[in-house]
Amino acid sequence: MEENKQFRIGVGSLSPTFAKQLKKQGFKFDVDKVKHFEKLRESITYLMFADLINDKAKDNAYIKLITKIRQHVMSANNLKVGPKPI
């Protein structure tokens, strides 16, 4: 297993799709799972713009989403999942 490989993922509404971001960085991933992650990102954005969640709830939701994406990408690429990034 390769260790110490890191990736960056943008979650803002103007960020490229997760698939584009992951492809650009050379990661393998399950297309259907990443599509599901995109729907979750859109949902968080809709809730935020509808003023149904506050900034803290939005940030917590994005952190949880990034954690799920990170776990999937590390697993799909046979990488060791290390401690959470700061």
pLDDT in 10s for each residue of the chain, 86 residues: 455 567 899 998 899 999 999 999 999 999 999 999 999 999 999 999 999 999 999 999 999 999 999 999 999 999 876 666 65
pLDDT at 1: 44
Q: Do 79 and 2 meet the contact criterion of CB atoms below 8 Å apart?
A: yes
Could you tell me which of 57, 32, 33 has the C-alpha nearest to residue 45?
Answer: 57
The reported pTM is 0.84
